[in-house]
A and B are shown apart, each in its own frame.
Chain A
Amino acid sequence: MKTVIEIKNLQKTYTETAVEVKAVNGVSLIFEEGEFTAIVGPSGCGKTTLLNLLGGLDAPTSGQVIIDGIDISTLSSRKIIDFRMKNIGFVFQAYNLIPVLTAKENAEFIMQLQNKSKVERETRIAELFKAIGIEGKEDIRPSRLSGGQQQRVAVARALASKPKFILADEPTANLDSVATSELLDIMRKLNEEENITFIFATHDQRVIDRARRVVYLEDGVVTKDELKE
């Protein structure tokens, strides 16, 4: 299996408050292509911080995040934005769709930033909307979509530019059980059929149950790294 991300002795310490907080404390992990991994733990254990470090949204205090042989913690802020756009897909808890764009426009947003042609965008979005089961919703704005549908559009947006992996931060936190189950089915299907790597930060048991690998975090330290299959 090809290594997608390697993190070495990663540390993130917050010093803004009087008390120094070590959100991530010496974590070393390897994520391989095609993984469906859940990073789990109680609130405040450092899951989101770890995910942000993996995605280059935050810089580590020390340690390395190596993606495709590049230590992204050494990249300039300009280069890291470009790197994220080309290599990483994000799914957020609150969907974070742009309300003034339609579902289709939201999904193709990154492709527009990458100056992809209209034909390329249309083909890719049609393919994705079919795969995630929201065909026919292309011209509807987010406010008129259900939470589950919005999150599917967010997944389509994350996948649109064919990133190396998807980072999903509590993607099911705002969804009911039916929508959660349908979303996880879609993600799992994409993972199995298209070998897309998914890394979740979650404390949702339904996600943990569907994950093939579960990394347990506590106080910023990996306490258990479990391969379920």
Chain B
Amino acid sequence: MNYINFKIAWRNIWRNKLRSSVVIAAVTVGLFGGLASTGVMKGMVMDLVENAIQSQVSHIQVHNEHFVENNEIEYLMEESSEILSKVRLEASVIGVSQRTKSFGMASTASKGLGVMINGVEPENEKTVTNIFEKINEGEYFESDKKNRIIISEKLAKKLNAKLKSKIVLTFQDYEGNLSGASFKVEAIYQTQNSTFDMMNVFVKKVDIDRLLMLPDHSSHEIAILLTNEEVTQATTERINKLIPNYLVEAWYDIDPYLNMSYSMTSFMLFIFMSIIMLALGFAIVNTMLMVVLERTKELGMIMAIGMNRFKVFKMIMWETTMLALVGGLFGILISWIFTWYYGDVGIDISIVGEGFATIGYSSVMYPVLEFIDYIEVVIMVMLTGIIASIFPTIRALKMKPAEATRAG
């Protein structure tokens, strides 16, 4: 293999060590900045998605399609228990739970607030959500007593309620009458999504079904948790065939914002890195123009003795690309170390984390970068090198060998 171009290009990089080091350092810092911030962002979003799946939406939900449109309680799934049995037979399903859902008002002596009342079967619910792990005070439906409620810490503060406080829930029953009942606070939970916390209270399904006067074996929602996220689409399709009369949706259809955030991170990496590489590209072009100017005689000579234009282009392109790649590899290495370390221990942003929590982000960030992200960056660095070499090469190729070889 004839690798003379490669050899000259590589050695040329180290001819002016200081200048090359400055460019390499710029590429290293630029890439680290882009990759680290993308890693942090990606980690936050993956954490957001994971938390949302584990504590809110699950991987798949089943509804009466009219219920999805306007959340009216009459739109039930009447053979809910039967559906549960069918879904449990799916190999990728690790948890199924049915819920009753109704908008209502939660009131104490001091205040009243609108909430979503979630009627759950505690044991089944534990298989699909981790709310039972988020209990700060009290126990998750340990008592067999009627009318127990679990509220969030945030809501408790707003309602001025504590453990064992009484909260009155008012709602419209199945027949359209205004109804209500008093519930005793059995536990107080806190997830990392304060908006979710403010909106959701949990009661036993059997209690709320009785108060709403719902038919037996019915529910508004079935939540399904799977072995992993990758099987979501295939399992959704299979369950859809099992129960064609109801709406079966995956988490990304239920919460498009969540899905968009997930998809956006890859796009953001591309945008971030494109901007960084564009800026670095100008620095590289500038450096390579100086290089070409300094080597007028040398380039003239090699063209005079028989190196054709394509080979001259290749030589300068190799040099530019390798210069960018050396910096790129350093940048990737530092980013990998950063992601590896902080991906494990996390970055605590609790000082500024309260704002993030309102939209479901954790106060500890765990940066994540996937192998494909690194590959994408390497390709972008190489492309930058190739593109940045075009202008200097054009300058080099405009030289006339006869003049270049005699240049001072």
Residue from A48, A55, A98, A112 within 8 A of B304 (CB atoms): A55
Q: Which residues of A74-111 are within 8 A (CB) of B?
A: 78, 81-82, 84-86, 89-90, 92-94, 96, 98-101, 105, 109-110
Q: How far, in Å, is B110 (CB) from chain A's closest CB?
A: 81
* Contacts A81-B306, A98-B8, A109-B305 given; does A57 touch B298 at CB 8 Å: no
Residues in A196-224 with C-beta less than 8 Å from chain B: none
- B19 neighbours in A (Cβ, 8 Å): none
B105 at interface (Cβ–Cβ under 8 A)?
Answer: no
Which one of A86, A89, A96, A115 lies within 8 Å of B297 (CB-CB)?
Answer: A96
When distances are taken between beta carbons in the complex, the residues of chain B under 8 Å from A157 are 305
**Which chain A residues have a beta carbon within 8 Å of chain B's beta carbons?**
48, 52, 55, 57-58, 78, 81-82, 84-86, 89-90, 92-94, 96, 98-101, 105, 109-110, 112-115, 157-158, 169
B301 x A96 contact (CB < 8 A) = yes
Q: How far apart are the CA atoms of A112 and B315 in the complex, in Å?
A: 14
24 A-B pairs whose Cβ atoms sit less than 8 Å apart in the complex: A48-B406, A52-B402, A57-B304, A82-B306, A82-B308, A85-B306, A86-B306, A89-B305, A93-B406, A94-B405, A96-B297, A96-B301, A98-B301, A99-B15, A100-B12, A101-B7, A101-B11, A105-B7, A109-B302, A109-B305, A113-B4, A113-B307, A113-B311, A158-B305
A96-B405 in contact (CB<8A) = yes
**Cβ contacts B356-399/A at 8 Å (1 or 0 each):** 00000000000000000000000000000000000000000000
The answer to whether the Cβ of B70 comes within 8 Å of any Cβ in the partner chain is: no
Beta-carbon contact of B8 and A100 below 8 Å: yes
B2 within 8 A of A: yes
Cβ contact within 8 Å between A113 and B301? no
- Known interface pairs A57-B405, A85-B307, A101-B7; 19 further A-B residue pairs with C-beta atoms within 8 A, sorted by A's residue number: A52-B402, A55-B304, A57-B304, A57-B400, A57-B402, A58-B400, A78-B308, A82-B306, A84-B305, A85-B305, A86-B306, A90-B304, A96-B298, A96-B301, A105-B7, A109-B305, A110-B305, A113-B4, A114-B306
Is B2 in contact with A112, judged by CB distance below 8 angstroms? yes
Residues of B within 8 A of A (CB): 2, 4, 7-8, 11-12, 15, 297-298, 300-309, 311, 400-402, 405-406
Going nearest first, the 7 A-B pairs with the smallest beta carbon separation are: A85-B306, A100-B11, A96-B301, A57-B402, A112-B4, A52-B402, A58-B402
Cross-interface CB contact of B301 among A85, A92, A112, cutoff 8 Å:
A92
What residues on B are CB-neighbors of A114 within 8 Å?
306
Query: Distance (Å) between the CB of A169 and the closest chain B CB?
Result: 8
Point out the residues of chain A lying under 8 angstroms from B11, CB to CB: 100-101
* Docked complex Cα distance between A90 and B307 (Å): 13
Q: Chain A residues near B306 (CB, 8 Å)?
A: 81-82, 84-86, 110, 113-114
A8 CB to nearest B CB, Å = 21
Task: Determine the distance from Cα of A185 to Cα of B400 in the docked complex, in whole angstroms.
Answer: 32
B343 CB → nearest A CB, Å: 41
Residues in chain A near residue B311, CB distance under 8 A: 113
Q: How far is the CA of A105 from the CA of B7 in the complex (A)?
A: 10
